[in-house]
Structure 1
């Protein structure tokens, strides 16, 4: 196990396996969409809904302000999350955002061979590297569909997203469960699972040895600033993670949000259908533009596109009032990739009109 990660220049080939160490002074894995925002820009870089919170959510949040003198009590929130997925409360770990779960896992697990499937959310690899683990990459080629055979048979830790950020590709549940082999911890990041109607490929209610599912409540419900997520796993792992987690890691308002959102099934499903319709509209409008290719089959609240000179195009879009997420900080992508968040059709129309004029 490494105790002091050192810089290493690497070249990642598609569908190839790479051993990676990081220089944390200039680590693109720590680049996230929020740093790209600037005042006055239309945000197409961050995958968080920005609509006003409904009364059934905002009222309990405001009411929780009167309880801040007491230390947070997770009992009700854990029970609500457990019921949401047909689990026991002992199988639920509430976290300060889903990202904290990756840091806790990196502290507790001691893998001999850790593999992260890319392109995907970069925080899992960054967290593992920060805690001294050597990380190997399996990089999927476009259209980014999962082939379980690419994962080394002796990998005892495998991390991947479903649906995957930034590709928006949804992997079939059987392809994921094929990776849940004896002696392996399989971590599935389902931060965007609730953006898909019916969550057809979710493993949140599945009990398999070594399976860990990570979820977020910040995306669909527009609660990124509140920091609330959770992890589902075997009770023994939950206990180990709890031992390294800071005391009272989730605030009282965040716990209230978890409890309320966990029971809002009808509203969650309605939002997922709205996202699907708005995404289909965005994809159709992007198809009008020569030189902009939607890659893969998008299923979530964002779309990945390939276009020559994407980084320069991104700067021109900023000058016209729109910011999109650069793709070159995701392993397996490069300077010709952009991620675009799904918004309402009026925003899409305004954006596409500008994009048409800026694509060279």
Structure 2
């Protein structure tokens, strides 16, 4: 474990959209983990139909009830948020904790939100030599807030649910970011819907699978008192009417079936990408395996130079050095369809030359 002071280390505010933001759409995007070709037409129609109600203040009761039903929970255990990012801010501001710990490498926004709220944050750094697997014993017993992603961005590791549950303690809040769990076939190892784990808080995002990053919609599943504490920290009407319409639609039977199909396609497309990357092992390319999310983490020599060469060849990938626990030799690649992947692999061969 390493403890870093505020302001030290990687840029926690760097996100994948920065890799493509200034290129006017000219780059093929493997930097952002939003599923390509989304949102689908039927979801666009549902969102568009809500625009006739914009004169009224948002009413989240139907969407909240739909999310609760999707996970078999009472509505008192559900809080709708403007994306998972808002949930991290609410947790940082509303919970009274003295020793928060973030398990890295992972999405950096939880730590950034905690630091912005004045907390001193400890980091538990998982090692590449161990496959970035979680060892619950490495988390300090005195930690009263623990944050971990599952599957973890950017490592694509899917931790066994039993290992994550082993982090739970009376008096500790255990935050599990499941933003990419619906991209895992069968959502195996998911904790959403569990009520038997003390202090469990599960975060879900609807922006990744459904291409709604610009709409901002996600939710928190937690004990009723925790939900009430977080809700008090929210502004009035934090989720817009179109976002509420999207939330209700994305947890319905049609959407769940479509997400399950997408998860199976992603798994097949990821296997194709990984197989292509393995063929470049002689040129120094190493894949963090097994990968279980809609992205893969790779290590290669001169990754920064390769990333810049890839931009010149029309491809944007995510730099890895802004994630605590990684360094300048790492890149994250979003899983795309096979044709896009084949084009990328050809470009990568050139960039490695």
Answer whether TM exceeds 0.5 for this pair: yes
Secondary structure at 1:104 match in 2? helix
User: Would you say 1:265 and 2:256 are equivalent positions?
Assistant: yes
Matched, 1:212 2:201: yes
Tell me the distance in 2 between the aligned counterparts of 1:247 and 1:313: 46
Residue 325 of structure 2: SS of its match in structure 1?
Answer: coil
Give 1:358 shift. 1.4
Are 2:150 and 1:165 equivalent residues in the alignment? no
Q: Is the 8 A contact 2:100 2:146 kept in 1?
A: yes
Bigger share in helix: 2
Alignment of 1:83 onto 2:69:
yes
In 2, distance between residues paired with 1:78 and 1:66? 21
**TM-score, with length taken from structure 2:** 0.95
Structure 2 CA distance for aligned equivalents of residues 20 and 187 of structure 1: 22
Determine if contact 2:40/2:210 at 8 Å carries over to the other structure. Answer: no
Q: CA deviation at 1:296?
A: 2.8
Correspondence for 1:118: 104
4+ residue stretches of structure 1 with deviation over 6 A? none
Are the counterparts in 2 of residues 167 and 304 from structure 1 also a CA contact under 8 Å? yes
Equivalent residue for 2:136? 148
Determine the structure 2 residue equivalent to 1:60.
46
Shift of 1:36: 1.1
Of 34-43 and 131-140, deviating more is: 34-43
Residue-by-residue CA offset, 1:17-56 (whole Å, 9 max, x unaligned): 3143126xx9600000001102200000000012143333
Once the two structures are superposed, residues 278-329 of structure 1 have per-residue CA deviations (whole angstroms, 9 ceiling, x without a partner) of 1011001111113111013110110000001101110000011001000000
Map of 2:191 onto structure 1: 203
Aligned to 1:331: 324
2:243 aligned partner: 254
Instruction: Give the match for residue 134 of structure 1.
Output: 120
For the 8 Å contact 1:144–1:296, the answer to whether it is kept is no
RMSD: 1.1
Instruction: Select 2:337's aligned residue among 329, 337, 344.
Output: 344
Counterpart of 2:300 in structure 1 is 307
Unaligned ranges ≥5, structure 2 = none
The range that moved more, 207-216 or 121-130, is: 207-216
Indicate which of 255, 270, 273 corresponds to 1:279: 270
Q: TM-score, normalised by structure 1?
A: 0.93
Does 338-347 or 293-302 show the bigger shift? Answer: 293-302
Partner Cα distance (2:140, 2:233) in 1: 29
Instruction: Classify the secondary structure of the residue corresponding to 1:20.
Output: coil
1:188·1:213 contact (CA, 8 Å) conserved in 2? yes
Q: Which residue of 2 aligns with 1:236?
A: 225
Q: Which runs of 5+ in 1 are unaligned?
A: 1-15
1:8 corresponds to: none
The answer to whether the Cα contact below 8 Å between 1:115 and 1:157 also exists between their aligned partners in 2 is yes
Q: Which residue of 1 aligns with 2:211?
A: 222
**Alignment partner of 1:191 is 2:179:** yes
SS of aligned partner of 1:133: coil
Q: Is the 8 A contact 1:17 1:139 kept in 2?
A: yes
The answer to whether the aligner puts 1:354 opposite 2:347 as a matched pair is yes
Report the 3-state secondary structure (helix = DSSP H, G, I; strand = E; otherwise coil) of the residue aligned with 2:12: helix
